[in-house]
Amino acid sequence: MTKAIEIIKMPRLMILKGVEDLTLAQLNKIPAGFNNNIIWNLGHMIAAQQGVCYKRAGVATIIDDEFWETFRPDTKPERLFDENDLAKIKELFISTIDQLEIDLANNLFPNYGTWTTRYGAELTSIQDAVNFIPFHEGFHIGYITALKRAI
| Weakly modelled stretches of the chain, pLDDT under 70 | 1
The model's pLDDT over 33-47, given as tens digits with 9 standing for 90+, comes to: 999 999 999 999 999
Q: The domain spanning residue 82 has which CATH number?
A: 1.20.120.450
Size (the chain), residues: 151
Cα angle vertex 97, ends 15, 11, to 5°? 25
pLDDT score of 1? 64
The count of domains in the chain is 1
Supply the range of the domain harboring residue 82: 3-150
Considering the entire predicted model, what is its pTM?
0.96
| 38 touches 26 (CB < 8 A) | yes
Q: What is the DSSP string of the chain?
A: --HHHHHHHHHHHHHHHHHTTS-HHHHH---TT-SS-HHHHHHHHHHHHHHHHTGGGT---SS-HHHHHHHSTT----S---HHHHHHHHHHHHHHHHHHHHHHHTT--TTPPPEE-TTS-EE-SHHHHHHHHHHHHHHHHHHHHHHHHH-
